[in-house]
Amino acid sequence: MTHQVHIVGGGLAGSEAAWQLARRGVHVRLSEMRGTGERSPAHQTDALAELVCSNSFRSDDDEKNAVGLLHHEMRQLDSLIMTAAAKAQVPAGSALAVDRDVFSAEVEAALAAQPTLEIVRERIDTLPQTGLTIVATGPLTAASLAESIGAATGADSLAFFDAIAPIVYHDSIDMDVCWMASRWDKGETKDYINCPMDKEQYLAFHAGLLAGEKTAFKEWEADTPYFNGCMPIEVMAERGVETLRFGPMKPVGLDNPRTGRWPYAVVQLRQDNKLGTIWNMVGFQTKLKHAEQVRLFRTIPGLENAEFARLGGLHRNTFLNSPVLLDREFRLKTAPHVRFAGQITGCEGYVESAAVGLLAGLMTAAEITAQTWSSPPRTTALGALHAHITGDAEAESYQPMNVNFGLFPPLHEVKKKQRKEAYTARAKADLGEWMASTRA
């Protein structure tokens, strides 16, 4: 197949960009390294759009939450990622969580059914010198391609570490100790398994996190910062003995039915597949060595006999200094036939990565048809994310960012308690007008 656009990388961003182009009749070649016998340090399968960390797309509340609003906007634009997530959804309270295997299968099947899309399992080592290209290789870009990108940009990539949480088999959890509940049970189903700790157990666990043997850094990685939204639990523990009790181990709003009281601390697990056979330890991203994880996590009440479908891990993520290197259409200023999409641009999170892929697809489609590209309004979640990546952020301190209302133009005239609803109402109205004017 002769292609009009070459997409490098079959993760969430590359898959979404390919979908947006192919459904508009554009001929696309989607190149994915996995399937050639090679994988990144974090991937475990060859499936397109594999979810390597959590199985959650975070809050699905589109009235008071920025990422929920982003879900809404992507659905309005026929996002493949959001359609697949709906088909693969598993219970998670107000969050959108998925069975990761079903999700990937839905994405791949939808792409394979597109007549103008060719999926090729191949490794791309250098940036193409000609032809419209979207690089969506994610935060774990292979070394050879990363070197080619560095040569083209004339600047070093920035980097940070990302940590993965363990997954536990449900039938190894002691439900005589744990219980099912969502925080405060405010109209939600009881979607989380809760493992209670008393003060003595918590303090011993905290000490174990500090003393546990961790993955060693390579010399060239020593000064690489973590991303705050995916902080290893032992790094949080180093910030103070109470830090975890106000973070992922917060007991507030969780009544233990056996005592009628909140525990001193709690470990929560969230369903990770439709069958309910595997559960993710919420907020327990870690760089502890595997043997140390098994030993320490089995001291958690209810997990004494835990069997792990996956242990936690650590990997190095790279991203571009996009405000400096990319133009307003995600094109490399030194090679404008090349666009970037997804986490390599410096967005953070599954949904944000897919959203940037969606925008890159729309931008490329407009370029092919010689239409003037009009960005979504800054007042929308898509527009706020686009603006952050392409110039609103301080270039000298540019860091990965989840979508949040802090990226939106402020509404100081609205009372604080009503501001989130006002942001979302404005965004929905403005997105509708933008879609009508651009026929997106």
**Which amino acids are annotated as binding site, given as ranges?**
9-14
Query: With contact defined as beta carbons under 8 Å apart, do 354 and 12 qualify?
Result: yes
The label of the residue with tokens 């965004």 reads: 427
Label residue 240 exposed, middle or buried (CB < 10 Å: 0-12, 13-18, 19+). exposed
Cα distance between residue 68 and residue 291, in whole Å: 37
User: Residue 163, SS3?
Assistant: strand
Tokens read off for 217: 């850094």
Cα distance between residue 66 and residue 384, in whole Å: 10
Tokens read off for 421: 């609803």
Sheet holding 5-8, edge to edge: 117-121, 28-32, 5-8, 132-135, 335-340, 331-332
Q: Name the β-bridge partners of 269.
A: 193, 281
Cα distance between residue 277 and residue 12, in whole Å: 25
Handedness of CA 282, 288, 291, 296 (dihedral sign): negative
Residues flagged as binding site for FAD? 9-14
The label of the residue with tokens 């993710």 reads: 280
